[in-house]
Amino acid sequence: MAELSTVARPYTKAAFDYASEQKALDAWSELLQKLRLVMASHDVQKLLGSPKLTTERRVSLAIELADVSVDDAQRRFLDTLGEKGRLPTLSAIADQFERLRAEQEKRIEVTVVSAFELDDSQQQKLAGALKKRMKREISITTQVDKNLLGGVVLRTGDTVIDGSVRGRLNRLSEALIA
Task: Specify the CATH class of 2-102 in words.
Answer: mainly alpha
**What does the DSSP assignment read for 37-56?**
HHHT-HHHHHHHT-TTS-HH
Alpha-carbon distance of 120 to 36, in angstroms, equals 32
**What are the residues facing 112 on neighbouring strands?**
142, 154
* pLDDT of res. 4: 83
| Helix boundaries (H) for the chain | 2-21, 25-39, 42-48, 55-66, 72-83, 90-104, 120-134, 165-177
User: Comparing C-alpha atoms, which of 132, 153, 131 is closest to residue 142?
Assistant: 153
From first to last of its 178 residues, the chain has per-residue pLDDT tens of: 458 889 999 999 999 999 999 999 999 999 999 999 998 888 888 888 888 989 999 999 999 999 999 999 999 999 999 999 899 899 999 999 998 998 888 888 888 898 888 899 988 898 888 888 888 888 888 899 888 878 888 888 777 888 777 777 788 888 888 7
* pLDDT of res. 2: 55
pTM value surpassing 0.75: no
For CATH 3.40.30, the residue range(s) in the chain are 107-177
Query: For strand 152-156 and strand 107-114, is the pairing parallel, antiparallel, or unpaired?
Result: antiparallel
Alpha-carbon distance of 154 to 110, in angstroms, equals 7
The DSSP H or E segment spanning 118 is: none
* pLDDT of res. 29: 94
CATH number of 107-177: 3.40.30
Q: Are residues 112 and 142 in contact, defined by beta-carbon separation less than 8 angstroms? A: yes
> What is the torsional sign of CA 111, 157, 21, 131?
positive
Alpha-carbon distance of 136 to 110, in angstroms, equals 11
* pLDDT of res. 15: 95
pLDDT tens digits along 90-122: 999 999 999 899 888 888 888 889 888 889 998
Which residue type, as a one-letter code, is found at position 20? S
